[in-house]
Amino acid sequence: MKNLNKSIKGIGVFLLYILVPMLLPSITSSNTKDLYINIGIMFLLLLLFIFVYKEDIIKDIKAFNARFFKNICKSLAYSAILIVGLLIVSIILVEVFHVTYNNSSLIDSLLHKNIFLLIIYVFIISLFTEQIVFRKVFKDILQNKYFFIIFSSLVYAFCQIGYNISSTNDLFTLIPFAFAGIILSVSYEKSNNLITPCVVYLFYDLFILLNSI
Amino acid sequence: MKKEFSITLISLLLIVIAGLVNHIIDAKDIKIQNKDLLSSDTLIHISKTRTKDEITYEVVDKSKNLTYSWTFPNDEAFASSLKDNMEIDLDLRLQLLTDIKNKDIDNLVSNEDKLIIAFNHHGELPTKAKIKLDVSSKYNDGEKLYLYYYNEEEEQIEYIENGIIVKNGTIEFEITHCSKYLLTASIVQDAVNNPKNINIIIIVMVVVIIVLIGATLFQNKK
């Protein structure tokens, strides 16, 4: 019964994550008002998700803090794998398949507009919302760890660029996102702590930001 | 503790190497830009063809080995606005930035296959114009291209249309104002107003929900 409750809660969170952005203006919209509306509503959504999983999140924060240095080291190692892996994947895509993807363009775009928006959206809203939805929700529902890692990574990749797929060529751009999803899901599976993939992705975002400046 | 310290050091080293590789790739792009900015255009020939419905200006730019044409509707509105708004012979020229890198656009669009089209004339055209352009050096026949507009004020890429098919090495598209445009064979992920493929999204999301519900029921049954 406990599992059923977790699953229902998870499916509800996933549905909200999918449906709410569909009703919102694009985050890359030229209209500043649209941007604030988008960021405000996504922030409220994140607060709702945190409220739904507050007990588990508090438990994870305490567990992470208990072995803080060790967990930071592990997260840094996963980030290094993520950064180097994505660099290799993007080089292969460009050189072999002549396909490019840009995982830093949102950061570049927001960096040009407003550094405050960048920090709020990329480093808080997007980071935590994605980890709650694609790591926490999927792991709660899918108990087979291999199925969880593969399925959650594919759905994560699709949610990142699914809107934009209009040709078979665009499907190649799923690969880097799926790779990122696998690393994040493995880090969560191994640590059993939601803060780990959050910190891994935080390091990755910082790397992208430093490269963009 | 020693193990963690080693992991941290190796991770930081890998991250620094990845950063350096990224910078080397960027530096290579900037080098090409400086080299190409030195070149300047000289020889240009414009011929005009008038039919009942359209006026076509065919431009052969020998200095850039470019051939393209502009087609405007042959009506009074075009003729009168032309006098007020633009010196057509001078402003019809455009540049194809195939090899040179435009740093502003490169920051936003990483697609290696992009072709930047920069017009001499900036601003609104007197009327909608059809442009026919030779892109045979960049794209193959049958390829479907996306057309984007670079909004310099907002520093963003805006989607215009897709499905522009390369036929006999040329493409045709319509514009209403001149600035910088870019063509790509693949979508620019963070462009504004990209076409949203809602059908695929809905199908995939329904499948995901079914899998999640199925997993829930299966595990609960066990």
The reported pLDDT for the residue numbered A191 is: 92
Out of A67-76, B2-11, B179-188, B196-205, which region has the weakest mean confidence (pLDDT)? B196-205
- Main-chain phi, psi angles of B128, to 5 degrees: -65, 135
B81, pLDDT greater than 50: yes
Tell me what the mean pLDDT of segment B159-187 comes to: 83
Residue A11, pLDDT above cutoff 80 = yes
Q: In whole angstroms, what is the distance from residue A21 CA to residue A67 CA?
A: 36
| pLDDT of A208 | 83
**Run of H or E including A16:** helix A2-23
Distance CA A138, CA A123 (A): 22
Residue type present at position B101: K
Sign of the alpha-carbon dihedral angle for B56, B60, B64, B66: positive
pLDDT band at residue B138 using 50, 70 and 90 as cut-offs = confident
Task: Look at residue A211 in the predicted model and tell me its pLDDT.
Answer: 77
Nearest residue on chain B to A3, alpha-carbon basis: B220
Neighbour count for residue A2 (Cβ, 10 Å): 6
**For A13, which residue in chain B has the nearest alpha carbon?**
B209
Lowest mean pLDDT of A137-141, B102-106, B162-166, B178-182, name the range: B102-106
Confidence (pLDDT) at B98:
46
Q: What is the DSSP string of A117-156?
A: HHHHIIIIIIHHHHIIIIIIIHHHH--SHHHHHHHHHHHH
Please state whether beta strands B54-61 and B44-50 pair in parallel, antiparallel, or not at all (unpaired): antiparallel
Instruction: Reply yes or no on whether the pLDDT at A212 is more than 60.
Output: yes
- Check A211 against B185: CB less than 8 A apart: no
User: Mean pLDDT over residues A171-177, rounded?
Assistant: 84
For residue A184, the distance in angstroms to the closest alpha carbon of chain B comes to: 16
CA distance B127 to B144: 26
A78 pLDDT tier (thresholds 50, 70, 90): very high
pTM: 0.67
CB of A100 within 8 A of CB of A182?
no
Tokens of B13: 């080293």
List C-alpha distances in Å: A201 to A75, A132, A185.
Answer: 9, 13, 11
Tens digits of residue pLDDT in A100-148 = 565 555 555 565 667 777 788 888 898 999 999 999 999 999 888 999 9
Q: A69 touching B, CB under 8 A?
A: yes
Predicted confidence (pLDDT) at residue A91 exceeds the cutoff of 70: yes
pLDDT at residue B46 tops 70: no
What's the whole-number mean pLDDT along residues B213-219?
A: 83
Cα distance between residue A175 and residue A169, in whole Å: 11
**Pairing of the two strands B144-151 and B156-165:** antiparallel
Residues B11, A73: C-beta atoms closer than 8 Å: yes
Quote the distance between the C-alpha of residue A96 and its chain's center: 27
Which residues, numbered 70 to 99 in chain A, qualify as contacts with chain B under a Cβ-Cβ cut-off of 8 Å? 70, 73-74, 76-77, 79-81, 83-84, 87, 94, 98-99
Within 8 A of A166 by CB-CB distance, chain B residues are 162, 187, 195, 197
- Residues near B221 by beta carbon (within 8 Å), at least 6 away in sequence: none
For residue A187, report the phi and psi dihedrals to the nearest 5 degrees.
-60, -35
Q: Determine if residue B123 is left, alpha or beta; phi over 0 gives left, psi from -120 to 50 gives alpha, anything else beta.
A: left
Top mean pLDDT of A3-12, A87-96, B96-105 is at A3-12
Nearest CA in chain A to B8: A73
Per-residue confidence band for B39, with pLDDT thresholds at 50, 70 and 90: very low
- Chain-centroid distance of CA B34 in Å reads 21
ipTM summary value: 0.74
